[in-house]
Chain A
Amino acid sequence: MSDLYDTCVFIDYWRGDTGAVALIESVRAGEKSASYSSLSATELWQYPKLGRQEEVEFVALTSYFLQEATLSTAAAIKAGQWLRPLSRSARMRVAADALIAATAEEREERVRTRNLKDFQKFYSNIQTY
């Protein structure tokens, strides 16, 4: 089964977290396929501590080793329906999780994340690393 790597995988790879390094190394070695949500790019590049070198590294990783999982209208509708019963503050907190989970569900991929709690509200096919 293919995986969709959540934003935290990129950060933890830069930090040297052994679980994240194993995930990235497996795609770099061609042992498995994985994707990332284009929303992750927005989340990463609003963070001011990431600079040009991290940008080049991100391009290196996403040009050859990870597939881009774009947000489709169908997945956006699904995420909206998941969010509907939640309180306003809860919707604010988990809107991005819902969009990423809906993208993974549409692609029939497992989400690899350290943020299990919020994803579990919508999607069961998740695994930590």
Chain B
Amino acid sequence: MTTGTLVRVSQSAKEASHDKTLDCDSRETQSSEGRIQPQLLDQDYDRVQSIERGDMYFSDYYSFPYDWNIQQSEVHQPIVNVWDTPKMKSLLAEPLGTPVALTKEEATEIVRLAAGRRPDLPAGEDLVKEVRELLGHSLMERLKRMD
């Protein structure tokens, strides 16, 4: 009856099973979104009663099979900041101008986190006026030398 190790699942799956893990004897169905929908039968309530009375251990009857395909998003995982990953730490340690290769997922997260990260910078309009004049001066000097 007991077929595998206990696995933690997301709150939604827990709620659906009244915060109890279930054994695998074909009492779960899948919703249209592919989510597991555990179904409690009468004998499950008997088991819950037995556990509450201390007549049996919870893990004796309530466990998941090894091959129960739990969606990755259903498993609790800590949220990792993209800048805390070894790849990004390594990229940041490299000198300015070193080629950068990113996946779209990494790029999406990096761009999202960049908004408002440098409030110390001058207004874009002021900074551009300053550098643009220098660039224009440089261009004109070059053209002057070409005359």
Chain A contact residues, CB within 8 Å of chain B? 6-17, 20-21, 24-25, 28, 39, 42-43, 46-47, 49, 51-57, 59-61, 63-65, 88, 91-97, 114-115, 118
Contacts and interface: CB of A to CB of B under 8 A. Distances in A.
Given A6-B128, A39-B135, A92-B140, 15 more contacts: A8-B125, A15-B124, A24-B111, A47-B127, A52-B94, A52-B96, A54-B118, A55-B96, A55-B97, A56-B110, A57-B114, A57-B117, A60-B106, A61-B107, A63-B107
A55 B100 contact: yes
Nearest to A95: B136
B128 A64 contact: no
A65 B114 CA distance: 14
Contact of A92 (B107, B110, B128, B133): B133
Contacts of B88: 56
- Looking at chain B's contact residues, the main secondary structure is helix
B137 to A, nearest CB: 5
B40 interface: no
B90 to A, nearest CB: 11
A43 B135 contact: yes
Contact of A12 (B123, B133, B135): B123
